[in-house]
Chain A
């Protein structure tokens, strides 16, 4: 009904996975390269917004579950807090996983390094993505000007 034409929809089919993969790369390499949770989450949310624009509100309403997105945003925040509380025996925001962690204490520069930083980046990325998509969905569903 209120979706774009065939060319835009086909291009969106091709670019939405690419944007998603690039955003996931930014989030997961937040401790090694520029970017991080907020930037990567906003990039993935851009893919979600492209989906909403290209395929229309009706299709997005079917695919985007409001309760799931609200829950995922809360879970992202809780995972962030949980990662911060890992080293609570020393201090809040003490990077315990880096100093004596099981996995995430590799050589600086490798993917499995930097303690809780990758966990926090993933949590913040999830939070930003779900939050921005649900906010945009709320704005798109707000159509009181039609009367």
Chain B
């Protein structure tokens, strides 16, 4: 019963997301022309000013390390925490050492 309800709610969420990604009601794909400047003005700014403001010709690296450096800092912290947690959990247990 619980599983059927969970599956039903999954279906409802899936239908809602399908509706949200329909071009007539929700977000559009393959933007160009006027839509590009209307919905992607931030990307346009990065493409136009990235090289002169940051210096790298790789715009993705410009954004990731300079414009949005805090995000990369958090990402590195996530990686650090994940590896610290994995190594801490995978150490030999006290029971194993006594054998």
Contact = CB atoms under 8 A, between A and B. Distances in A.
Q: Is A bound to B?
A: yes
A84 interface: yes
Interface stretch (A12-20, A29-37, A51-59): A29-37
Contact of A117 (B62, B75, B86, B99): B62
Nearest to B88: A138
Interface residues of A, number: 40
B57 interface: yes
A131 B80 contact: yes
B72 A124 contact: yes
Given A73-B83, A128-B79, A139-B90, A31 B96 contact: no
Interface of A: 30-34, 36, 38, 73, 77, 80-81, 84, 92-93, 95, 98, 104-105, 108-109, 113-117, 120-121, 124, 127-128, 131-132, 134-135, 138-139, 141-142, 144, 147
26 contacts: A30-B61, A31-B56, A32-B57, A32-B58, A33-B58, A34-B60, A36-B64, A36-B65, A80-B73, A80-B76, A95-B66, A113-B56, A114-B56, A114-B62, A115-B55, A120-B72, A121-B65, A124-B76, A127-B80, A131-B80, A131-B83, A135-B83, A138-B87, A139-B90, A142-B90, A147-B99
